[in-house]
Structure 1
């Protein structure tokens, strides 16, 4: 007598940001899971905020209750996924407390694919995606801001402005009275 095939279903894990809601990553991950007849797992990793100490060494604020904070993150993840994929999305939701890199890597164990958004701001550790790629137990897809439609960061906008100014300066260098036509970006 032969036993039925016990292979686990194709699993796609997608990291869902609390700020951007990762709409492109969610949509792409769902399409990938559906194309393989698999399942989609949406993961939100959060940290308990630090309560700063006052001058006396103690805090005047009450630290948040970890259970309440976890429940709040679960509700927010449910809302974010429903907003992007619809109310009857059929996505498995997981909320993890801890470090973003470690949490996503742990949740991707046993998965066939991990999908994440590229960090949007330098404060989010620009090497997060890089570090996940090298430590992940499965292939990783990183949605760059140019694909996900995220607006350019202040750093990117500044770099573009400096580049345009340098090109303009080089173009007019040594040409008294020469003015290049204005670019549509100026």
Structure 2
């Protein structure tokens, strides 16, 4: 029997975790599953999805009929189930939800009534501005954001470019006006 909190009525401790289609959010999923196990609760793995625009041919006309909306949704649901199983194993006991809508709104709506919302830090700095911050301010429950250095995410293009520019600026400033100076070799 699930442990019930006095203020929750008959509802078990619930953790909602956003599962990215690109990274599969392995750290967020494992951490959320650990919280659920420690509190004898319920895990909801959720992913937002949208129907893409119809494909056009190079002639500018609609391409031949592609997959139906139902087929696209089925493929997305299968991918989500496979991603959760890949991270948590085949007997994960998580409720898997594919919800149509924007990432932010799907997470907010799914987390209504939950005890905790868990996400990986957004990978791109260029997407919706301040996604995690807006999510934190609008959520109806506490939000845990897995930082990239904990989740093992590779730095994005903007971060890699920023680091390269920073290294070049430091090297340039360190050698300016010093003929023949060579900076120490990197280890």
Q: Same fold (TM over 0.5)?
A: yes
1:82: which partner in 2?
Answer: 85
TM-score (norm 1): 0.88
Deviates most, 173-182 or 25-34: 173-182
Partners in 2 of 1:45 and 1:132 — Cα distance? Answer: 14
Count of aligned residue pairs for this structure pair: 181
2:46: which partner in 1?
Answer: 43
Contact 1:119 1:125 survives alignment (8 Å)? no
What value does the CA root-mean-square deviation take over the aligned residues? 2.1
Please list every run of 5 or more consecutive structure 2 residues that lacks an aligned counterpart in the other structure: none
Contact 1:51 1:61 survives alignment (8 Å)? no
Residue 27 of structure 1 aligns to a residue whose secondary structure is helix
Residue 180 of structure 1 aligns to a residue whose secondary structure is coil
State the 1:58 CA deviation.
5.2
Please list every run of 5 or more consecutive structure 1 residues that lacks an aligned counterpart in the other structure: none
Partners in 2 of 1:115 and 1:164 — Cα distance? Answer: 34
Cα 1:73–1:160, aligned 2, differ >3 Å: closer, same or farther?
Answer: same
User: 1:35-184, aligned counterparts within 5 Å?
Assistant: 35-52=38-55, 59-62=62-65, 64-122=67-125, 124-184=127-187
